[in-house]
């Protein structure tokens, strides 16, 4: 059985993330979208909110589950029996960073491989950081995130203004 994880912060989930989830879900038997609890960052959405949003956006994919984790991705992958880590590449700069992590992970656990997928061209520029920046100024994010999530994103910034 091919079991993979697609780790990330997904704060917030974008069309680029969803594209990667859909594409990688077709390549494996089971895909776990693994939301990292990153204590070094101050996220816009709580872990629970991100899990809920991703569950809503992937409920049509029967082989996809959403979970959160704390710690090293390689350790989490091993703990759930995943033998593939899915990573998306937008640009050459992503590749250098991701390659270093993949090679390190391979030394830590040679049973787990990293599968790189290039981002679909229409999402090559897109990141959660860009979405948050635009939304913080009330800009139009409809081309970057599902309509169901837009109100939640804008609401986070409205609360911050009060």
Let me know if 39 is a catalytic residue. no
* Catalytic-labelled residue, pool 90, 106, 132, 152: 90
93 membership: H or E segment, kind and range: helix 92-108
Q: Which residues contact 6 (CB under 8 A, 6 or more apart)?
A: 20, 21, 24, 31, 32, 33, 34, 85, 86, 87
* Catalytic-labelled residue, pool 2, 41, 46, 79: 41
Let me know if 152 is a catalytic residue. no
* Catalytic-labelled residue, pool 17, 24, 50, 87: 17
* Catalytic-labelled residue, pool 9, 24, 87, 128: 128
Let me know if 90 is a catalytic residue. yes
Measured between alpha carbons, how far is residue 74 from residues 17, 48, 102 in Å? 20, 22, 9
Are residues 43 and 71 in contact, defined by beta-carbon separation less than 8 angstroms?
Answer: no
CA–CA distance, 113 with 144 (Å, rounded to integer): 30
Are residues 9 and 43 in contact, defined by beta-carbon separation less than 8 angstroms?
Answer: yes
Let me know if 62 is a catalytic residue. no
Question: Which sequence positions are flagged as catalytic?
Answer: 17, 41, 90, 128
């Amino acid at each position: 059985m091919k079991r993979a994880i697609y780790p990330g912060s997904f704060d917030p989930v974008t069309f680029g993330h969803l594209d990667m989830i859909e594409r990688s879900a077709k390549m494996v038997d089971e895909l776990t979208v693994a939301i990292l609890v990153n204590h070094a960052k101050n996220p816009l959405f709580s872990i629970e909110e991100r899990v809920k949003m991703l569950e809503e956006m992937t409920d049509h994919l029967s082989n996809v589950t959403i979970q959160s984790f704390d710690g090293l991705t390689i350790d989490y992958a091993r703990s759930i029996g995943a033998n593939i880590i899915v990573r998306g590449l937008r640009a050459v700069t992503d590749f250098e960073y991701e390659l270093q992590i993949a090679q390190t992970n391979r030394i830590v656990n040679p049973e787990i491989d990293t599968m790189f997928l290039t981002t679909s061209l229409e999402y090559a520029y897109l990141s959660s950081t860009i979405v948050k920046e635009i939304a913080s100024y009330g800009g139009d994010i409809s081309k970057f995130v599902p309509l169901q999530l837009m109100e939640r994103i804008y609401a986070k910034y409205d609360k911050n203004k009060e």
